[in-house]
Structure 1
C-alpha cells in the first residue's frame, strides 16, 4: 500500500476532521506516526482521540479492525485525490502525481507515518485484508500514472513508449526510493534518488 500517500495520510493532511469517523482515522494516523505499527495499541489510538474513549471502543474492538478500516479509508481518499487539480498539460500532471507519491520534502511526522505504513505493509503476506488493500492502492497509483503517460504519448508531448510498462517501472522506482529513504530516515537519500528519477523521466519520456 502506498501512502499516497500523493502520500498524504488521507489526501488532506492538516484538515480538521468533519465527523466522528474522520476523527478516529486522524487519531489512528497520529498514533501510527508516534508509535509505529508493531507497538501500536488501542490505548495509544484512544489517547489521540479527542472524544470519549468509550465511543472509540463502541466502534472498534481491536487494533486489527480499526487498521483495516484505516487502510480502506486511505485507498478511498487516494482514489479521489491523487490528482487534486485539472491540468492542461500531461507533463504538469505527471510531476503532480510524482509529488504526491514522493514528496520533495517531509516533516518528521510525515516521515514517521511512512515508516509505520511500510511496517504495516510488510504484514500483507500474513493478512488477507491488508493484501487486498495494498493491491487496490497500488492499482490506483499505477493506473493514474499509465493514463497520464498515455495522454502525453497521444498528444505527442511524450516519446512513443508503452504507458503500461513505464507506469509499472516508474511506480517501482518511486516506491523503492520512498521505502529506502524512510527506513533509513534519510531525507537527503530521498532527494538524491528523486533527482535521478526526474532525470530518467526527462531522458525517456520528455526528450
Structure 2
C-alpha cells in the first residue's frame, strides 16, 4: 500500500496521481468511505487541488473509468510483433489480474472497478463508460482472433462471439475471487481456457 510521500507517486503527473489515489481509497474503503479529502491525503496533496480537478465524488468516479481505459491501452503491453495467440493471452491475463499482474496493485485496481460496477446499475453515466470500456476490449480481442484466423493460427470461428465468451469467463472468475472467499477462480478459468483452446480456436499451447 503506497503511503503519502512514497516514491510510488513520483511516476505520475497530478491528474494521474489523483486517479491512482482514488483506486487505492476506493479499493480499501469502498464507495461509502471514499471522499475527496481521503483521496487528497493518500496522494499527499491538499484537498483544494483535488477540488480544482473534480467538482464532486461522482465526477471523480466517472473520470476514473476514463483513466482506466487509457491505462488499459497503455499498460496492457501488446506487442504488434507477437503472434495472435500471444496477444490473446496478454489480453486475458491483463483482464484477470490487472496492471502489475498478481501483485497488490493489480488486485486493488480490480477491487476498485468491482465497487463501481454495482453503482453502474443505477448510474447511466457510469454504465455508458463501462459499456465503452467493455466494447474496446471486445473489439480488440475480436481483432486478435480475426488476425489469427487469417494467418491460420486459429480455426474459423465468429471472432466477436469468441471474444465475448472469453472476456465474460474471465470477468466472472475475477469477480468471484474478489467477492467470495476464493482466490483460484481466475487461475482455474485460465487453465480451462488453455485446455479448451484447441477446440475453441484451434491451438493447443498457452504461450509462456
Q: In the aligned structure 2, how far is the partner of 1:122 from the partner of 1:180? A: 14
User: What does residue 164 of structure 2 align with?
Assistant: 168
Higher RCO, 1 vs 2 (CA within 8 Å, ≥6 residues apart): 1
Q: Which runs of 5+ in 1 are unaligned?
A: 1-13
For residue 27 of structure 2, give the secondary structure of its aligned residue in structure 1: helix
Q: In the aligned structure 1, how far is the partner of 2:41 from the partner of 2:156? A: 53
User: What does residue 50 of structure 2 align with?
Assistant: 56
Q: Are residue 33 (structure 1) and residue 24 (structure 2) matched?
A: no
Q: In the aligned structure 2, how far is the partner of 1:74 from the partner of 1:176? A: 19
Deviations 1:145-183 (A, max 9, x none): 100000111111111111111111111111111111111
Does the 8 Å contact 1:145/1:167 carry over to 2? yes
**TM-score (normalizing by structure 2):** 0.83
Does the 8 Å contact 1:68/1:129 carry over to 2? yes
Q: In the aligned structure 1, how far is the partner of 2:199 from the partner of 2:106? A: 30
- What is the CA RMSD across the aligned residues, in angstroms? 2.1
**TM-score (normalizing by structure 1):** 0.84
Q: Which runs of 5+ in 2 are unaligned?
A: 1-7
Residue 24 of structure 1 is aligned with which of 10, 18, 23?
18
User: What does residue 118 of structure 2 align with?
Assistant: 122
Kindly state the Cα deviation for residue 109 of structure 1 after the two structures are TM-superposed: 4.6
